[in-house]
Structure 1
């Protein structure tokens, strides 16, 4: 890492110094000539400095992106197994818009069945979470909270059913005003294991 800093650091440091000089020039200019307009020569000098900075910064970014793209210490997504995991047909990917919920309804026939879930948010530049809860819906339409609401980035768990009926898994994004959430999930209802009947 030290070698990379010595090799690629100085061009970035000089670009940083240049933009700081431009900023200092502007600050001093505005302090000194607060109410007056910039002279044509000053404006031309400022425009040229900004153009040089922009051109050099773009060149540096292109160069450093090629360095990282060809770096031997990065591995591809295929090697890491990320693509294989996303190709798994058991998982579904859904988008929960800001201010909305997404629900999965499972019908459970037997007591002591297990409802199992595994989900995670597809994260971007900002780490996000989503609300998750589990409800039981009686035939009369009454709701009973079985797993209390909590916010997660990811969760894996199961719940042993106390009675047959409908169970609703809820991903809740109603608290978010701006951000939609992309959720990869898998849910399953596993019936109870029955003891084999011994014959005489």
Structure 2
């Protein structure tokens, strides 16, 4: 994924390639097995972050092509950890609601989270992530000092650097089914 133009144009090309591969690969995955692996890894992250009953985590409800987060959310809730999930606003900012409760918490609620699990199409070793392209999480993450963990498929943890823009917020760690959790280095310059 190197030798691409810098910034947003390069990200659009990479995103298209990653989406295509995801569509091709996901059908061959055991979704239940992936869900269990991610749930166990997510519980490990929560434990290492010192979360207790009543602590807040932000996560997201996955689509069929994304790594499954249903078991992760259920496992956290079962341990008394409060989980907020996003509500996408018309301007691509995010509001939040607690799992199982329809009432919005407000866009500042992310500041309560001690861990934020974010979606991504890929993450490199410096914490650069390629998301959906709307900048939702780049808007939201500056509102929290939480540990930010991208959730991806195993082939989406990349050794080569991903293109990124100055406004992109790097993640602290990445987790993928069968690969566990990797804490990442400093973001690449540029």
TM-score (norm 1): 0.21
* Structure showing greater relative contact order (alpha-carbon pairs closer than 8 Å, 6 or more residues apart): 1
Q: Which has a greater percent of strand?
A: 1
Larger radius of gyration: 1
